Structure 1
């Protein structure tokens, strides 16, 4: 499936995130026709279908449908940790930085952030930071990786690196969680299959409302005992669902029809990086654009990131400033090749007027 058709006058080019996508007409139709029941008692047939479908894709015993990626990550934490335990995570990880301090609030768990590269950890990073368990320290319990990385720049773990890190964690008795909000982007970019990655981890979360284009939803997968605890956590967190088949139908449709088209989003991101490389006042490394996320830096002698995005917005191009001069752009289902070219022209025009 190609990116949906859009008007050629480019009324709005929204590159802030792949969460801004709206359901396609076909997805809306699937939602309208969804068979529903009470998921809280396990009787929503479409939710059951989605959970079974994900278990098959990832070769996990069980799954629980959650409202958001934050919720599925926090359900994973609660299900595998006790108060006083510690999570190890790369310093830019979403779970550590963008989930409202939830590990401490909901699970009484501390987070230890470790420096990596591109949002990714390797076994050497972990070994250099490892502390032998001691009464002075929180108990290390859960190692969390993110693939693709978000603030790390959409980077994709090579499979061999995932293996090294997971083997390191297993050898130290850690549980392993993958924040796979964009796992299908990672699989598309690296060429591995969902179950090959999932088999390395105890739990995997994935998001339906990003590259797959659903209005909401996430899934947590793992062994049956962990997911049973996860259902209890979901209830405690206020996330138990009733007639959720309407949303599950969107996810089923997306898994069947939107995964293959992620290559287009990646191609659009690479093209945007190529355009940016040719614009004066922009610093970018196109070779680091591995999926659908593009980060670039503005010349410090020019305008700030906030001013830059404000001027872009005046010309109907939306991006996020994530630092004084650092900008993030994300391609997705609602962005086509013409919009990428237009965004490049607008960026060049705005920067041509800088002081």
Structure 2
């Protein structure tokens, strides 16, 4: 898994505590793993080494600013992994955003993975919900483990209805979110003491550096919240913003004005 991967850093180490596995984190400059990096991290078949049992990719990559992995990149990794009999899981929380950027169907982008998770919320706008996809045997096992871990829910048809709307109606508008993110990135790049490369913003997430403003991200986030703008710090110097169904172009323009006023004053 890439070193900034969501399930590695933001799920209370559950992969170790619940599944009993020891992850191997691979750092990259852009969040996008290449097969050569993965191959170098695969454990050799020696009796005193724990064996590599799964490779996990994230597309788009949250903490890498919504970076998008292409179909060719994922295909090569899946092909090489399967030749070594290693399954591949996709953390596709925002895979519909990736498909929109690439002009591909989600089916084509994910067809070579052994299992896929995607969110009905986030870009697709449902109030709650995620889905896991895999073989019939895999899903049967997943249902058992969900029950074992207390994840069962009752009378959730109303949530399923919202999820169907999210799947059927929302993917077509994701390009608006991407355009708004690019608008924010371009505007931020024009503000003194803020560092961001607009060309690196591919989807609906942007990360920018405020180290030269004299503030840390906790202070800056609080100041923005007082002005009605929600953004979070991912470390002391980098802020993260996300565009979605509830954020309009006008909202982005307002956010840029607020940020510029805060920096100037």
TM-score band (shorter)?
over 0.9
Alignment length (residue pairs): 265
Aligned to 1:147: 59
| Counterpart Cα distance in 2 of 1:131 and 1:175 | 14
Alignment of 1:177 onto 2:89: yes
Structure 2: segments with no counterpart, 5+ residues:
none
Aligned to 2:251: 339
Aligned to 1:108: 20
Where do 4+ consecutive residues of structure 1 move more than 3 Å?
none
CA contact (8 A) 1:118 1:149 kept: no
CA contact (8 A) 2:16 2:22 kept: yes
| Counterpart Cα distance in 2 of 1:283 and 1:183 | 27
Aligned to 1:198: 110
Aligned to 1:351: 263
| Counterpart Cα distance in 2 of 1:139 and 1:242 | 38
CA contact (8 A) 2:60 2:94 kept: yes
**TM-score, normalisation: structure 1:** 0.73
**TM-score, normalisation: structure 2:** 0.97
| Counterpart Cα distance in 1 of 2:258 and 2:47 | 57
Match of 2:175 among 263, 274, 298: 263
Aligned to 2:156: 244
- Larger mean CA deviation between 276-285 and 191-200 belongs to 191-200
Match of 1:99 among 2, 7, 11: 11
Match of 1:211 among 123, 127, 141: 123
CA contact (8 A) 1:115 1:125 kept: no
Structure 1: segments with no counterpart, 5+ residues:
1-88
C-alpha displacement of 1:301: 5.8
Deviation string 1:2-49 (CA, Å, 9 cap, x unpaired) is xxxxxxxxxxxxxxxxxxxxxxxxxxxxxxxxxxxxxxxxxxxxxxxx
Q: Which has the higher contact order (CA 8 A, sep 6+)?
A: 1
Aligned to 1:282: 194
Alignment of 1:254 onto 2:166: yes
- SS state at 2:139 partner: helix
Aligned Cα root-mean-square deviation (Å): 1.2
C-alpha displacement of 1:342: 0.5
Aligned to 1:74: none
CA contact (8 A) 1:277 1:283 kept: yes
- SS state at 1:306 partner: helix
